[in-house]
Chain A
């Protein structure tokens, strides 16, 4: 019962906070609600015994990405932003589509039966700790995807530099 209650609380809080993020007129408020949202998500991960991902959620998302968001908001003209609508006029269409996809997903997932158990059961994770298990998988079985991910990060750095370069004088 208690786990269900906790899960229910986090799930509800995440939904409410997400709605607050997208409906606020002031971008600074949106970002602040998002900060709270990220902490809720991190708690959810913690609750699911994934402490490493919870830490990453706080450090990377709440720490780095949110600061980046705030930088972007600093570059905006807040006074002008406050006068514009948060939603484009076609939002009801989007809502219908989103609702349809949601209904489809719910009906599909309702018939979802977990019918396998892999190498990493809850016992193994509890014994080895989540961080160790993740690290081992990442550096052995998933070494190849890990290396590709490093290239993707490199591309991001190159991209940022290229797009901020001075215009060429011929």
Chain B
């Protein structure tokens, strides 16, 4: 069996990313100023993003194990934005938390590499390994503040429940392999239709196990237990990173696996995802009402947003998928922005993550309050922000696919969510400051806030471009 040199053009971004992460790891030894490493990571990531568009990049390689298409490309852009924004908001924060180690940037890049592999996976084994690469790096990042008990707790919980989810995924994969004799997504679909496997209990069980594992990754109810503790305890910059990246990667693989490998059992997986989506929206939005810690509140908010995005998957049409992708991009911007403001409030000796810390922020720091207002409006889904457009397209796609009743439920929960998002706004604008909050600012933080604010407002006013991008990406 001679080895045929596989076509490496489609996989260039991943190769560049690997080299970059290894370079950062080694450079950490020689470079004492960690800000330089952050700068190098951003430049490198931008360079890797540039290779997305190289000629011959859109192709399948390694015998169908790696698929580089518009769909994966769109998600890779989300991941690249996610990691760049995370690095921008981490630089000063790491110094404040006194964990300014260079490995942080290398781990962020490795995690992003795992997500990129997931988005491009055409084979269940590649998918699993990409998922582990992403998850393992994120577990370490969650426990990055080693002397902090909460950070330790976050990392351990995330790790234990993550391994649990991996076990489910492997059970599902092994059943699918046992039934079809292949782990290739295309060939699984082919075998299912050729051999008439649709409706066989073993296939349904395999599909359910895979769905459970992915629901863990996107923190959908009832597999969300790890999310609030992990999000609260992890360093805030890592919380921002893992509330966007792994979630988007989870959605990327859900879209890929269920629409590519299991289209024949669509009725069954829709029946699995509809209750999950409803419960996710219900628990996420209702439990968020009673939170006093803003990171915990945003954890439940991120659970709820996973519920909305699931509607796009349930719709299952090209429109549904495109609106789900679009939602992930918008969510990346608005969530990153909100976390950037939270990080600014963290200063030496002041945690700044209680919701009451936001009281009267508009009087002491009007600009920060105004930015938070924009992000909270966007998370609620109030026009003219991007959040509104994201929800609008998702709901429209679901209605067009015939799930009007589901959209009504989603709109009701979305209205409930206004209470806890706008409570922050009310705290900032209608209460008097109790204590003086000092903001930790830096140029990179300013840049991150500028990017996210402009993006949230621009997509909110002119959504056509992004929608078009997602639409062409998913044929």
Interface residues of A (CB under 8 A from B): 104-105, 107-109, 111-112, 114-118, 136, 139-145, 148-149, 151-152, 154-156, 158-159, 161-163, 165, 167-170
Contacts and interface: CB of A to CB of B under 8 A. Distances in A.
Contact of B99 (A107, A112, A145, A168): A168
Contacts of B1: 136, 140
Contacts of B175: 108-109
Majority-rule SS of B interface residues: helix
Given A118-B181, A152-B129, A162 B139 contact: no
B21 to A, nearest CB: 9
A107 B201 contact: yes
A143 B66 CA distance: 12
Contacts of A161: 103
B279 to A, nearest CB: 17
Contact of A152 (B103, B123, B133, B205): B133
A56 B106 CA distance: 31
A149 B178 contact: no
B147 A167 contact: yes
Contact of B65 (A104, A145, A163): A145
B62 interface: yes
Nearest to B130: A148
B464 interface: no
Interface string B55-73: 0000000110110000000
A106 to B, nearest CB: 10
B281 interface: no
A155 B204 contact: no
Given A108-B175, A141-B63, A163-B143, 18 more contacts: A108-B201, A108-B205, A109-B175, A109-B205, A111-B200, A114-B178, A142-B125, A143-B62, A145-B65, A145-B126, A149-B129, A151-B110, A155-B136, A159-B136, A159-B137, A159-B140, A162-B140, A170-B98
B2 to A, nearest CB: 8
Nearest to B206: A108
B66 A144 contact: yes
A155 B99 contact: no
B129 A145 contact: yes
B180 interface: yes
A151 B18 contact: yes
Contacts of A155: 107, 110, 133, 136-137, 140
Contacts of A114: 178
Contacts of A167: 98, 146-147
Nearest to A166: B146
21 contacts: A108-B175, A108-B202, A112-B179, A116-B180, A116-B191, A117-B181, A140-B2, A143-B62, A144-B62, A145-B125, A148-B117, A148-B129, A151-B110, A152-B129, A155-B140, A156-B136, A158-B103, A162-B101, A162-B103, A163-B140, A167-B147
Contacts of B137: 155, 159
Contacts of B195: 115-116
Name the residue among B25, B137, B204 with the largest chain A CB count within 10 angstroms: B137
A163 B146 contact: yes
Given A111-B202, A116-B180, A145-B126, A140 B143 contact: no
Given A116-B180, A145-B129, A167-B98, A158 B25 contact: yes
Contacts of B407: none
A20 to B, nearest CB: 21
Given A148-B117, A155-B137, A162-B144, A105 B110 contact: no
A111 B202 CA distance: 7
B271 interface: no
Nearest to A118: B181
B301 interface: no
A108 B204 contact: yes
Given A161-B103, A168-B98, A168-B99, A151 B146 contact: no
Contact of A170 (B95, B133, B136, B181): B95
